[in-house]
Amino acid sequence: MSVNSSENTKSRPLGAIEKYSSIRHGLFQYFSVVFSAVIVPQNKTENPLSKENLFAAVNDTIQKYPSSLALTIKDSGTENDFFQMVDSINLSNHLIYAQKKVREAESTTPNELINVLKASAIDLNKLDTDPEIIEGLETRVSTQFPDIESIPPWRLYLTPVLLGDEKKYAMHVLFAYHHSLGDGSTGRIFLESLARSLNKVGTVESSPIVQIPAKASLHPSLEQVSPLPQSLWNIAKVILQSKGWISSPNSHSWTGGSVPKTFGEDAAPYEEYLAKVSILRISESDMTRIINVAKTRGVSVTATIVGLGSVALNAALQKYLTGNDESFSTLSCCVPRNLRPNLTPETGVDADTMGVYVCGIDVVVPTSKLGLDWDSVWVVARQAKKKFTEELSKGIKDTDTGMLKYVSSLVGFFKAKPGTKRSGSFEVSSIVATAPKEDAYTLIHPTFLQSPSAMGAAINLSIMSFKGRDLAIGFSWTTGAVQDNRIVNEMQAKMEQLISQIE
């Protein structure tokens, strides 16, 4: 399906999958996607970068991707919401120092600000566990974007970083954005583009005002570029599952606490859907071993993580679930799938188009024979690979995203969810970015996180890696979904244990 150029305007209604996130945002059910990395000057400097140093590079990235980065959302959270492109962006609203003490120092002299940045720098080796970083991540994925109708809903949070014992400095950049603007691939595209822009324009100070080109137009919605066809069998199956006449993927799975009521006067306490976050980073050497063994087993890294997650979560649940908790015989894992490869060139969407072009694949894992060992991991990984292969063979047909067109009211759909069972046990979202070249500026230490959905899987695993380097798994969950934090902590610990044992 091609998109007529005359349809590409400065505004358009949100497509169904974009509206899916817009309405969740308005109902406090989902907030943002987060990608981060550390900008390292190869000519390592005595002083940290300031946000003014990054204006030119961010401006350059926006010029490449105004169709997503220059959008506001009007009538957000309603059935009639639409994107509106702005004429200009003030980067002072978008580049923000993450630490309060640094923000307070902005009103002082440049030298005083530099001194505060130095004093506030966090050791690179402690980023994944530093309380300030973790609290910042939890806040980002638990907070609505303000002024969404006038300021594009994305932010870049900055934290100075100390490079070990070298007494040299780098900058941790955290890109948080509204899920209606983009999927996980959008975060990957932003980081890759920022790295290229840094090496193109450098870190010279420039104006914070970004003028959006007059010729810029919105990216098409997924529904504009594909009919997302559904077979009669798939429609019937979904209807029968919704009526409870046949089993849904999550019917016999542990899915944590039920969907909370996040809106209205009788909403659940905010603490119940405030995100908790932790990070598991797998070293480059361990990743090399995992990739090599996975190849011999004929499975991908994503399928391997599904296996690791299933085995580790099952062990954690066996240890910490009490007799009053729900019984289960399966674990259900949702794996988002990038649909860009299925869209033809004439649609105007390619691998580097920002936007929301995804669907989900459900993998249901029986738990009766799962042990805490690599044999069990490979059994699940092969099952996941088989499911991936089946779904990929369908192309863009019979996707869950395609079923959204049959929902008469998404607002009503979400408002009916409180008290019902969540959609799954855990989600595995996997993004691999091109490793930045060893140029004047490079990016290291990538991380990916997202809001734990109020109605989605109980635990989110968000995977991010620069190809050939270390890999980070961002865990996010809420106390409403996982009442005992020890379950996630144990899941992470068991995954680490298994990784250390791979041969």
The secondary structure of 369-426, three-state, reads CCCCCHHHHHHHHHHHHHHHHHHHHCCCCCCCHHHHHHCCCHHHHHHCCCCCCCCCCE
For 354, the 3-state DSSP assignment is coil
DSSP 8-state secondary structure symbol assigned to residue 178 = -
Terminal Cα-to-Cα distance of the chain (whole angstroms): 47
pLDDT tens digit sequence for 71-125: 999 998 899 999 999 999 999 999 999 999 999 999 999 899 999 999 999 999 9
Cα–Cα dist 475/488, whole Å: 8
Q: What is the pLDDT of residue 34?
A: 96
pLDDT tens digit sequence for 416-444: 999 999 999 999 999 999 877 778 888 99
Q: What is the pLDDT of residue 178?
A: 96
Model's pTM, two decimal places? 0.94
Using the predicted structure, report yes or no on whether residue 325 has a pLDDT greater than 60.
no
pLDDT tens digit sequence for 441-494: 889 999 999 999 888 999 999 999 998 899 999 999 998 899 899 999 999 999
Q: What is the pLDDT of residue 21?
A: 93
Least confident stretch, 250-259, 315-324, 478-487? 315-324
Distance (Å) of CA 375 to CA 83, 307, 331, 370, 419: 49, 10, 17, 9, 37
Could you tell me which residue, 436 or 297, shows the higher pLDDT?
297
Q: What is the pLDDT of residue 454?
A: 87
Q: Which residues pair with 277 in a beta bridge?
A: 476
Tokens 């080109």 identify what position? 213
Using the predicted structure, report yes or no on whether residue 324 has a pLDDT greater than 60.
no
Q: What is the pLDDT of residue 44?
A: 64
Q: What is the pLDDT of residue 2?
A: 38
Give phi and psi for 160, each to the nearest 5. Answer: -65, 145
Q: What is the pLDDT of residue 165?
A: 67
pLDDT tens digit sequence for 392-404: 999 999 999 999 9
Using the predicted structure, report yes or no on whether residue 1 has a pLDDT greater than 50.
no
Could you tell me which residue, 348 or 312, shows the higher pLDDT?
312
Q: Show the domains of the chain with their CATH numbers.
A: 8-205 (3.30.559.10), 247-501 (3.30.559.30)
Distance from CA of residue 134 to its chain's centroid?
A: 16
Cα–Cα dist 32/177, whole Å: 5
pLDDT tens digit sequence for 326-345: 689 999 999 999 999 999 88
Cα–Cα dist 485/482, whole Å: 6
Q: What is the pLDDT of residue 345?
A: 84
**Residues of the chain above pLDDT 90, percent:** 76
For 317, the 3-state DSSP assignment is helix
Q: What is the pLDDT of residue 88?
A: 96
Kindly list the strands in the beta sheet with 459-466, ordered across the sheet, starting from the edge strand earlier in the chain: 275-282, 471-478, 459-466, 426-433, 330-338, 358-366
Determine contact, residues 394/217, Cβ cutoff 8 Å: no
| Arithmetic mean of pLDDT, 47-67 | 91
Q: What is the pLDDT of residue 246?
A: 66
Q: Considering the chain, what is the average pLDDT of its residues?
A: 91
